[in-house]
Amino acid sequence: MASTIKVDQIEGSTGSTITVPTGQTLTLTDGLASASLPVVGVAKGGTALSSFTAGDVLYATGATTLAKLAKGTAEQVLAMNSGATAPDWGSVDLTVLPTITVAKGGTNISSFTAGDILYATGATTLAKLAKGTGSQTLKMNAGATAPEWATVAAASSDFTKIAAYTATSGSTIDIDGDFSATYDVYRIIIRDWYMSSVWNPYMRVLVGGSEDSGSYYVKSIFRHYTDTTPSNSITAYGDSDSTTYWQISGGDTGSHVAGEGAVAGWIDIYKPLNTTQWKKINYAYNHESQTSTYQGQQGTLSYHNTNAISGIRLYSSAGTVSNFEATIYGIKS
């Protein structure tokens, strides 16, 4: 049967200690304000601290003393201070971090130079390849074991553009100074050539830049044309004797009219620098005239002289140049 004891104060019979027997529980129901309780020291399992600020961290400053470390700022980490006596907040000191190996997800390399490229030399080993020089490309080495920088050889071709020519005035057009020992054959592609009036195209060779007007020019020409009548013709022309120029046409080409095509075609020159043989030239072109005649022409030309020639001169039977566009290419032997 439970009993109720009402007293104003309980004191121990001997001293200030009240003993609760083993197996018994002393329950205080109410009337005890927390403010009246003492602050529990570390020696009694407390902190000896009566208040905190959100984020405080407790740390020991002695065997029976705890202190508060206020929270750090964003992204700071907790580390020991320089005297190794207490923790403090600070930024990560990367200089004290170890170099991370490849096996742990790192590179095991502590420094780089701008432009370095990483490549594997083994399952857990990375190496640096220093940057190459301007315009170099990356390729595998001869042993196919690692990448390396290399200079790509300049592109080469057996058919190489040498020079371009344009003109919009004048009576003659010189294509000169482009021949060299690099090529044996040259092709001149004429994209557009028309004059200010009805005309026929003529050609001579240049020797050392000067026009040769001697009687060394022989030709054989084949021409075919049709018009709107309709009529057509196939004609052959030739010079059995040497003349002082080549007329590379069998009929008037007419002057240029908007919408009509002017002379377009090609000229091949063989071994122009040879000094023991006569020079051989082949050509072909087509055009339309103001009278709606559509003409194609081709021929073989021979320069009966062993002079080395430096170029050719194109000119006309009448008028001045309205437009000329051509490109010369070298063809390797």
Total number of domains in the chain: 2
State the number of CA atoms in the 13 A half-sphere of 93 facing the CB: 9
The string of DSSP codes covering 82-136 is TTSSSEEEE---GGGSPPPPGGGTS-S-----TT-EEEEEETTEEEEE----TT-
The stretch 35-50 carries a mean pLDDT of: 78
For residues 205 and 245, state if they share a domain: yes
Of 18-32, 62-76, 269-283, which one has max mean pLDDT?
269-283
Shared-domain flag, residues 115 and 204:
no
CA distance 187 to 266: 7
Distance CA(128)–CA(140), nearest Å, equals: 15
281 falls within a domain: yes
pTM of the full predicted structure?
0.55
Judge whether 8 lies within some domain.
no
Rounded to whole angstroms, the Cα distance separating 101 from 40 reads 50
In a domain, 237, yes or no: yes
For residue 86, pLDDT beyond 80: yes
206 in a structural domain = yes
Same domain for 294 and 169: yes
- Clarify whether residues 198 and 144 are in a common domain: no
Residue 133 counted as domain residue: yes
**Which tens digits make up the pLDDT trace of 177-201?**
999 999 999 999 999 888 888 788 8
> Does residue 49 form part of some domain?
no
The per-residue pLDDT for 97 is 76
Please give the pLDDT value at position 295.
Answer: 77
Least confident of 85-94, 156-165, 169-178: 85-94
Q: Which of these, 216, 159, 226, lies nearest to 189 by C-alpha position?
A: 159
pLDDT tens, position by position, 141-160: 999 999 999 998 776 788 99
**Residue 111 belongs to what domain range?**
102-150
